[in-house]
Amino acid sequence: MLIRTSSQTSAEPWVWSGCGCSAPSTGPLPHVFPGRRSEARCHSYSHKVAEVDVTRRTDEGLIPNMKNIALALLLSIAGLAAGCGGHNLFSAPVGVNLHAQSGDVSSGTITQDKLITNQSGNPYSTFLANARAKFGKDPSDVGVGGLTLFLGAGSTGVTKLEQVFTGQVDVLFLIPASGNSFSVGHVVNPTGTGPVNLNVDFDSTKLLGSDHLALMAGNFRVVIRGSAAGGFASQNADADLQNTFTFNAAQ
């Protein structure tokens, strides 16, 4: 009887946008860095099929041939593990709290922002430092794999997100040095206290030159913007808007 086995052989490496690996152990499915060349890569793997005759007896019997089958299977598993390259990505959550008060409403719109490194404890700088420690060098890029919005318990005058916003709510990164802003995520008519998942829009390849350097150094502001819900401007309210980003650093 013949048994067909397969082994994995490495092909040319691809950037993350070309690989179909599963999520790394350090976090959720990575944000793809389309078009930006870095060392965060996966490997594609081709299958080499071999036929092993487990019924052919030799002086040593069947055991040596069964060992060959086991070895081929182990090589296949090892190849798959190496190909997914989870060691090339570091993910961690970073929270940024913004406060929207009734007096902040201007022309029916709420806009609040904060320099990301001014968040208590500076978690973004910690994220970058941990990525640097893992890679042994500065990461080449940062993406956003997820974003949620939560109405914190410190809020006064409001108990639900629909009492703060109506319509579309946008979260952006603003680069103070250039004045350029980049969409990170959005949600339409958020309700309850959350956490509410936002649709992630962030594309790091749109940040060029000094804007990309600012992203990698934490020299940007987190902005939340949306239309104020009816009555919010007159309620003397203070909404504690807790934004949690899942940042992915690429080696």
Count Cα neighbours of 91 within 13 Å in the Cβ-side half-sphere: 19
Give the global pTM: 0.69
How confident is the model over 223-250, as pLDDT tens digits? Answer: 999 999 999 999 899 999 999 999 999 9
Alpha carbons 191 and 160: distance in angstroms, whole number: 6
Structure tokens at 127: 């994220």
Element (H, E) at 172: strand 165-174
How confident is the model over 155-179, as pLDDT tens digits? Answer: 999 999 999 999 999 999 999 999 9
Q: Are residues 230 and 177 in the same domain?
A: yes
Domain membership of residue 192 as a residue range: 90-250
Last residue of a domain, one of 52, 71, 87: 87
Alpha carbons 238 and 98: distance in angstroms, whole number: 10
Q: Are residues 168 and 236 in the same domain?
A: yes
Q: Are residues 79 and 139 in the same domain?
A: no
